[in-house]
Amino acid sequence: MNCIAKVHDDLSNFSKYDRMEDYLNTVAENVETYGITRYNMKREDGYPVLLSVNLKGMTIRAGTATSEISFSKMKQVARGRKSLTVIPVAPGADVKLLGPDSCFVKEVQETIMVNYYVHKQLLGTI
């Protein structure tokens, strides 16, 4: 997107708000989640979880429980038809998540892998 189109989009977005303060509060709320992609998935037992993927790794929230998996501790992400399995480097339990269909699971895997490769490039290990 060129600069003129970006300014046009910003002005269009701003025109939706009555005051500049409302617009800035909305922008500030989005900054906190910038670079994080979220997916609603399920555990094997059917319990809903929220998978968040960013440049550092993944966060899995199930109710009030939170589990973080950094990319440095991730060995592989395997995809089944409707499942995604995160395999850690160190011996431990694999994390298996379920999605509604194979296209959704493929998108999640691709998002994880893109963030993983960018993470590795930032560290200079690729």
50 shares its domain with 100: yes
Tell me, what's the pLDDT at 113?
93
Task: Note the pLDDT of residue 107.
Answer: 95
**Which domain CATH number covers 90?**
2.30.29.30
Task: State residue 21's pLDDT score.
Answer: 74
The tally of domains found in the chain comes to: 2
Do 27 and 82 share a domain, yes or no?
no
Per-residue pLDDT tens digits for 71-86: 988 889 999 999 999 9
Q: Are 101 and 39 a contacting pair, CB within 8 Å?
A: no
pLDDT over 60 (residue 1) = no
Same domain as 78, residue 93? yes
Q: Hey, what are 23's tokens?
A: 């617009």
| Domain that includes residue 15, residue range | 3-32
Q: Are 13 and 51 in a shared domain? A: no
**36: closest CA among 54, 11, 23?**
54
